[in-house]
Structure 1
Amino acid sequence: MHETMDFARRLKNIHLRLILQVALTGKLQTAADEIALSQPAASRMLAEIEKLVGVPLFTRHAKGMVPTPIGDAVVRHARQIIRAFDNLEMDVAQISSGRAGSVRIGTVTGPAVGLVVPVVRSLREQRPEVEFTIEVAPSASLMRGLDEGIFDFVVARPAQDYNRQSYRIYPARSEVVSMLAYKDHPLATQKAIRLKELRAFDWIIQDHGTPIRAAVETAFLTNRVLMPTQITNTSSLLVALALLEQSTAVAPQSQEVVELLTVSALDMNVVRLDVVEDIRVSPFFVIARSDRELSPLAEHVILETTRNI
């Protein structure tokens, strides 16, 4: 076992970067160009790496190179190691130049608007030199990114079978679902609308299994109303807005998103329908890895975020 695993200690930074580029591009020549190697040198290096590991990391096809299962594992760890080295270089440069650093946040859509953006705005006034990265994605993608070190922390919903000991979990808040429609919708000015009145219209909604879709389906079931039959599934807010334009469709979105589109200075030609039923999405959490030490700056952003829940 010791001899088998010793290869990890012998891999160099350039080895890891070559592996990542091959996995990313699928072509050895392109990967070589990206890291300033000749194609023969890259070919020899990949052969050396695979000899160290003891098995092929890629299968060669006519259309490119694809990681083997062991190759996938090596690529995944290489990505984390390279990111750690890049972060080290960035931290040293920031400390040397007096900059405060960067924070990488992953979040689902509703909290991105209602929770993360206000915190970033506030901190931006206090620390204008801080570089924030905010990525919006489904919870499953965010949790994978957190595990891989892509994010310092995420605002998401972990899967039911997650290992709680691996994470720091901070208090949750539920999302409220509001109904978005084009400004000339027949029910745009009507008060106290019920779900059964909306069933006959087209619906633009997230796909099965997503939190808002589950909340809407539960609301229809609880109120003994059949789900609409005319549904377009999309997770893209941009697509939803385009489909709403000049139509009588209805699009359930988080309350924070609807308020941004209808109450702010944005002129999106959409309105919030006054629906009676209270529709709530399962709670989201602020989550960080328990086995990873974060920078004081990232910890401060987590603290400010949890204070606003």
Structure 2
Amino acid sequence: MATDTQALIQRLMTRGKFRHMQALVRLCDLRSMARAAESMGMTQPGMSQLVAELEKLVGMPLFLRHNRGIEPTELARDLELVARRILTAVQESAETVILRRDHQSTLVRLAATTAGAGAILQEVLPDFARQHRTIQLQLSEVYGLNQEAAIASGEVDLLCCRASEVLPEGWEFLPCKTDSLVVVAASTHPLAGQDHVPPEALREALWLPNHIATVARRRYEEIAESYGFASAPQARVVSRQMLLSWMLLREGTMVTMMPYSVALPWIVTGQLVVLNTGIEVPLDPLGLVWNPKEAQSGTRSFVEYTLSHTDHRSFQ
């Protein structure tokens, strides 16, 4: 088995082409030889040749032909995921070369959770971008276990997130902001203007529940029981996308519990308000995760700038 695996790796390394990966992805998307060939600016016989070469490399069929087009095999669908990552890496490599060659710029790949973006990036990014025009930040959003995957795969240079108990070897967490769970609602909600929102009002309010994988959902039941609104009615909609949550909250009929950091971009614009409930539950701090030994100059500049402009302080 090991010998077979090494032989396949050797074939792919010596005879595999990026063009094969591109063809695989296009065929999985379009399910048509003719349309895939047209999208890549080549003839249909040329596309058939690419497929034949790739199938010979892997030693198994990748597409089933029928009158309406083609259907990818299970192996093709498995390889499609790998091919997409390879093509994305090629695109990012080309961008890095252009940045260095034409703009004398460096690339920093920065991933952020919703909380990290709300607490840290929305504060430091505008000024950093103006002051460091030779550093290009490539931003992406991550959730839950995808944070660890992004680090392990080498896809990011920096992660802006909440403190984690376990980090890969060589990676460190630098605290930047404190955070807490609060109860929020749209500024038009009847409870928004009250000096004090008592437990009975929370018990009668319609709550927008949090996604099961979020820190707010994990703490909600405990807090609701403690403050006396465990029996409050809940809407039957759950989302991890803050934009979708805002679409539901903006009508002014629901309340929800979330980290202050997540709500902050809508709080600063006056669209959301923190209700005066007396509920403010401390959470683990937010900050930057990086590998100082592997960090290049652009990454170091962003880390130094962020630390100097946040200093582990509260933003409330």
TM-score, length-normalised on structure 1? 0.79
Kindly state the Cα deviation for residue 112 of structure 1 after the two structures are TM-superposed.
0.2
Question: Structure 1 residues 294 and 51, CA, compared in 2 at 3 Å: closer, same or farther?
Answer: farther
Across the aligned residues of Structure 1 and Structure 2, the Cα RMSD in angstroms comes to: 3.4
1:132 correspondence with 2:137: yes
Q: How does 1:264-303 map to 2 (within 5 A)?
A: 264=268, 266-268=269-271, 270-281=272-283, 286-288=288-290, 295-303=296-304
Question: Structure 1 residues 17 and 199, CA, compared in 2 at 3 Å: closer, same or farther?
Answer: same
Which ranges of structure 2 fall in alignment gaps of 5 or more residues? none
> Which shifted more, 198-207 or 274-283?
274-283
Query: C-alpha deviations, 1:182-219, integer Å up to 9, x for none?
Result: 33433223334355531221112322222222122332
Kindly state the Cα deviation for residue 250 of structure 1 after the two structures are TM-superposed.
0.4
Separation of aligned partners in 1, 2:224 and 2:43:
62
- 8 Å Cα contact 2:116/2:162 also seen in 1: no
Question: Structure 1 residues 197 and 68, CA, compared in 2 at 3 Å: closer, same or farther?
Answer: same
The amino acid of 1:68's aligned partner reads E
Separation of aligned partners in 2, 1:282 and 1:28:
52
Q: How does 1:221-240 map to 2 (within 5 A)?
A: 221-223=225-227, 225-231=229-235, 232-240=237-245
- 8 Å Cα contact 1:195/1:220 also seen in 2: no
Q: How does 1:88-103 map to 2 (within 5 A)?
A: 88-103=93-108
Separation of aligned partners in 2, 1:244 and 1:94:
41
1:168 correspondence with 2:168: no
Give the count of matched residue pairs. Answer: 302
Query: C-alpha deviations, 1:75-131, integer Å up to 9, x for none?
Result: 444344433433333233222223313333221112102112323223212213433
- 8 Å Cα contact 1:182/1:246 also seen in 2: yes
Q: How does 1:248-263 map to 2 (within 5 A)?
A: 248-262=253-267
Kindly state the Cα deviation for residue 133 of structure 1 after the two structures are TM-superposed.
3.1
Fraction of identical pairs, as percent: 20
Q: Give the 3-state SS of the residue equivalent to 1:165 in structure 2.
A: coil
- 8 Å Cα contact 2:103/2:134 also seen in 1: no
2:113 corresponds in structure 1 to 108
Separation of aligned partners in 2, 1:303 and 1:27:
51
Question: Structure 1 residues 246 and 76, CA, compared in 2 at 3 Å: closer, same or farther?
Answer: closer
Which ranges of structure 1 fall in alignment gaps of 5 or more residues? none
1:177 corresponds in structure 2 to 181
TM-score, length-normalised on structure 2? 0.78
Q: Give the 3-state SS of the residue equivalent to 1:78 in structure 2.
A: helix
Q: Give the 3-state SS of the residue equivalent to 1:271 in structure 2.
A: strand
2:9 corresponds in structure 1 to 5
